[in-house]
A and B are shown apart, each in its own frame.
Chain A
Amino acid sequence: MAKVMVIGAGPAGLRAAESLARFGLDVLLVEQAPYLGGALARHRYGGLMPYFDSGPQVLKAMTAVVTDHARVTVCTESQVGRVESTDGGFQVELMGQTATEEHVQAVILATGFTHFDPRRDAKYGYGLFPDVITGAELEEQMAAGPVHRVSNGAIPESVAFIYCVGSRDRQVGNTYCSRVCCAVSTKQGIELRQQLPQARIVMFYMDVRTYGLWEDQLYWRAQEEAGIVYVKGRVAEITQHDGRPLLKGEDTLIRGPFEWEFDLVVLATGMEPAAGTAALAAKFGVEREPHGFLRQAKPMVSAAITNRPGVFVAGAASGPKTVEDSVMEGDVAAMAVLEHLGVKATP
C-alpha cells in the first residue's frame, strides 16, 4: 500500500494522518517537537474559540487516534534531511530521533505557524516591562493557575488587550491580517472575566474581525455578558509608570488622546510562517506566496494543491488559520492525496 509522509503534527497534520490511515494508507507523521499537537500543545490552550471546547480534550482526542493507529508511524523529535524526487514519489531522509531513509508516494506539508515576536516592535516594550505579555503567554498562565502580574504575582485589577501586534503593519513587514487574534482575544477576555469578576478589561483595536457566526457568539457576548470595553485606536507606545504599564494612544472615536495605566497588558500577536517552512519549501520545490506562507496553487480547486505534484499543504502553513479550519484542511489534503494516488473505493 502507498505510504504518505505528513510533516508537522499540529491539528492539520494530525487530522490528515488520521484520515489517510483510516482509508488504509501507511502514514509517517514527522514532528520536530517532542510532543504532538503543535501550537495547541505548545501554549497549552485551555479553551478554543468560538465554542469554548476544552483544548486539552480536543488535543487528547486528536493525538489518541494517530498514536493508537497501526498504520501511523509517529516520528517525534525528527526532521527532514535530504529530499530526492523519484519516479513514484520522494526519497526522504529523516534525521534526529528517527534517523532513516523513506520512500513515500506523497507528502503533506503541515508546518503551521509561529507567533510574531513582539520584541520586533519596540513600541510595546515587550521584554522590557514584565507585565506586558503575549496572548500565548496568557494561555499558559490560565493553564497553570490564576492569571497574575508577572512583576509581583498580584492578581490584576485591570487588563488591556492590544490587537494587530505584528499584523497589518508595514513597519514590521507583515501586511496581512492574522485572522484569529480578534476572536482569540475576545475569547480570552470572556474567560478572564470568570477569574476576575471586578477587573476592568479593555480591548484596543483598529477593526474587530469576529466575522461570520463569531459576531454575537464572541464580540457581542464579550460586551453584553462579560462587560468588556472596546476602544478603537492602535496603542502608540507603552511606557511604565509607578511600576505599571502605561498605554499611550488615540481613542479615534470618542476621547482623543489617552494615557492609561493597566496592571497587565496582553499583546495579540499575529501568525508568521513557522521557522522551518522556508527550508522545507525549498527542499520539496514548493513555492511560497509573497508573505512567506506556502502558496496554494489552485485555491479554487483544492486548498491543498501546491505547484509541485505529489506535495500538498494543510493548515496554517499556507496562511493564518483557526484550529477548525486547520482540521478541515487536514481532510482536504488527505482527499487530495487519495486523488493523486488514484485510490478507488472498492466493494
Chain B
Amino acid sequence: MVDASETHLKLDPDAVGRQDADSLLRAIQSDIRYREVVHGCLNCGVCSGSCPSHRFFDYSPRVVVQTVLAGDAEAVKAMMDEYIWACAQCYTCAMRCPLHNSPGGLVMIMREVAVWRGMEAVHRLLKPYGRVLLKVLSIGNQLTPDMIQPDFFPDWGPKIPWSSTDLALKRKAIPVYTLQVTSSAWRVSPETSYELYTIYEETGVFRLIEQIDPNLFEVVSDMVEEVRELVEAGRDD
C-alpha cells in the first residue's frame, strides 16, 4: 500500500528536502499519473529508437522505464541527478510504444519529484533560469520584454540588439492597454501577486526555493513583504 502523503502531487511542504531513495521511488510510483504512463515493458526499444536524445546522448527512455519497473530505488535516484534531464519531452516514445506507455510522461513525474525534493541536480539545472524564476515567483510571468538582452541570447541572431532597444515605444505598436508594460508580459496587479504569494506559501514553493536558492529567496522575500504591505494598506483605506 502506498502512503497517500507520499504523493508529491499533494505538494506536501514537509516532503521538501526528503531525498532518501526509497521515498523518491515511492513518490514516483504513487503519482496519480503513474499507472497511465507505465503499463509494462516488452524491452522492444521502439521508444529509444524514436528518441532524438537517445541519438546523441547517453539517454534511453527504455532504460528509464526498466529501471523504475525493476524498483531499484538507488538507481532511480541516480538517474534523477542527470540522466533524465536529457529528455526533450517530445513524447514520440508515447506515440510509438506498443503498450501505450509514456516514457516521457514518466520522466516528467521524475523531474517534478526531483524539483519538489530539491535535489542537487535541480540547483544546477535551474541556475540558467534564475531570471525566469524570479519573474514567475514575483508576478507569475515567465518572459518579459526587458529580459530580451543580447548578452542573454547570443544564439538568437543579429536582430536581438535592435529588439532590446526602445521597448516602451515598440510595445505601443500593440494597441492593448494591458500590454503597455516592459517589466512584465502584461499588467499584473499587486492583488494578483498577493494571491500568488499565498499559494506559494501554502503549497511549500517558498520553502523549496529557500532550500535550492537562498539568495533568490532573499530577493523574493523582500518583494513579498513590500507587496503585502502595499496591498494590505490599500485594504485598510
Contact = CB atoms under 8 A, between A and B. Distances in A.
Interface string B12-48: 0000000000000000000000000000001111111
Contacts of B48: 236, 250, 252, 256-257
Interface string A218-250: 000000000000001111110000000000111
Contacts of A256: 48, 54, 60
Contacts of A168: 42, 98
B96 A252 contact: no
A171 interface: yes
A169 B62 contact: no
Contacts of A170: 97-100
B123 interface: no
Contacts of B45: 206, 232-234, 236, 249-252
Size category, A interface: 20 to 34
A250 B98 contact: no
Contacts of A169: 98
Size category, B interface: 10 to 19
B100 A249 contact: no
Contacts, number: 66
Contact of A250 (B42, B60, B97, B99): B60
B49 interface: yes
A257 B54 contact: yes
A303 B148 CA distance: 72
Interface string B47-76: 111100011000010100000000000000
Nearest to B55: A257
B49 A249 contact: yes
From B50, B60, B95, residue with most partner A Cβ within 10 Å: B50
A181 to B, nearest CB: 15
Given A250-B49, A250-B62, A256-B60, A234 B44 contact: yes
B43 A235 contact: no
Contact of B49 (A164, A171, A233): A233
Contacts of B44: 164, 206, 233-234, 252
Contact of B50 (A206, A232, A237, A252): A237
A123 interface: yes
A249 B45 CA distance: 7
A171 B60 contact: no
A236 B42 CA distance: 14
Interface of A: 123, 164, 168-171, 206-207, 232-237, 248-252, 256-257
29 contacts: A123-B96, A164-B44, A169-B98, A170-B97, A170-B98, A170-B99, A171-B96, A206-B42, A232-B45, A233-B46, A234-B45, A234-B46, A234-B98, A235-B49, A236-B45, A236-B46, A236-B47, A236-B48, A248-B49, A248-B50, A250-B46, A250-B48, A250-B49, A250-B54, A250-B60, A252-B44, A256-B48, A256-B60, A257-B54
